[in-house]
Amino acid sequence: MTGTPGQSKPAQGGAASGPTRWGPVFLDRDGVINRRRVGDWVRTPEQLELLPGALDAIARLTRAGRSPVVVTNQSGIGRGTMTRADVDQVNAYLTARVERAGGRLRGILVCPHAPNDACACRKPGIAMFEQAATAWGLDLTRATMIGDAASDVEAARRAGFANALLVTDPVEPYPASAPAPDREFASLAEAVDWLLSKPM
Ligand SMILES: [Mg+2]
Ligand SMILES: [Zn+2]
């Protein structure tokens, strides 16, 4: 699998430091942290348009000891529209912006495959969760996934943990045939309000 733990190294909350009080947080990237480019991918840092309040929401998670892991499907790599280096550059820029705002990402895991590659990591596949659990010693049973697509909800459902759907894209309504999300919010900020108030 080419999805590798991003720039960050295992740190607090790792297996060596014992069980954490709070469950891990997984964030989708496009449509959650930055605006999704409809019919295209974010191929350069200049194309990364951060959504209002997203950096602050990540900073709040970080201050609460819940630095999130980003899990993102980037099939533009597998389709030949962009390279892995393009995506790494965008993710390095995102990481820097998060840190400048006082937040921290444990890492960014990328599925680079096209849908017909039939990989295990492309959401709704759960291999990126398993990879994160191994890399950072996370207890997946207490995890929450925040995403803006049916594949995010379904991935969390398959992996057996909670999900929250962000309805940030009025263009493409959530498909009626997809599994109903546990919760729905209009922004990452609202989802984080909820996450930080729930006792798990
Ligand atoms: Mg998305
Ligand atoms: Zn993949």
- DSSP per-residue string spanning 61-79: HHHTT---EEEEE-HHHHT
Helix (H) or strand (E) holding 25: strand 25-27
195 CA distance to ligand 2 middle (Å): 28
111 CA distance to ligand 2 middle (Å): 4
- 13 domain residue, yes or no: no
146 CA distance to ligand 1 middle (Å): 9
Tell me the ligand closest to 33's alpha carbon: 1
- 143 domain residue, yes or no: yes
- 6 domain residue, yes or no: no
Longest dimension (CA), the chain: 45
State the pTM of this model: 0.89
Provide the domain limits for residue 160. 24-197
17 CA distance to ligand 1 middle (Å): 32
Q: From start to end of 51-195, where are the E strands?
A: 69-73, 107-111, 144-147, 162-166, 183-185
Tell me the ligand closest to 120's alpha carbon: 2
- 18 domain residue, yes or no: no
- 15 domain residue, yes or no: no
Separation CA 162–CA 181 (nearest Å): 9
Helix (H) or strand (E) holding 26: strand 25-27
Question: Average pLDDT over the chain, rounded to whole?
Answer: 90
Separation CA 55–CA 174 (nearest Å): 25
Which tokens belong to 73? Answer: 């499907």
- 9 domain residue, yes or no: no
Tell me the ligand closest to 70's alpha carbon: 1
Q: What count of other Cβ atoms lies within 10 Å of the Cβ of residue 19?
A: 10
Under 8 Å between Cβ of 12 and 142:
no
Q: Annotated active-site positions, please?
A: 28, 30
Under 8 Å between Cβ of 184 and 178:
no
- 14 domain residue, yes or no: no
Q: Average pLDDT, stretch 181-189?
A: 97
Of the candidates 155, 160, 159, 152, the one whose C-alpha atom is nearest the C-alpha of residue 184 is: 152
125 CA distance to ligand 1 middle (Å): 14
Which tokens belong to 171? Answer: 């263009």
61 CA distance to ligand 2 middle (Å): 27
Q: Average pLDDT, stretch 113-118?
A: 96
Report which of residues 14 and 4 the model is more confident about: 4
pLDDT attached to residue 13: 40
Note the pLDDT tens digit of each residue in 29-47: 999 999 999 889 999 999 9
CATH of the domain at 43: 3.40.50.1000
Separation CA 42–CA 23 (nearest Å): 29
Number of structural domains, the chain? Answer: 1
Instruction: Assess whether pLDDT exceeds 90 at residue 20.
Output: no
Separation CA 22–CA 180 (nearest Å): 24
148 CA distance to ligand 1 middle (Å): 5
Instruction: Assess whether pLDDT exceeds 80 at residue 128.
Output: yes
Tell me the ligand closest to 123's alpha carbon: 2
Q: What angle do CA 42, 48, 53 make, to 5 degrees?
A: 135
Rounded alpha-carbon distances, angstroms, from residue 150 to 15, 155, 168, 172? 31, 8, 13, 11
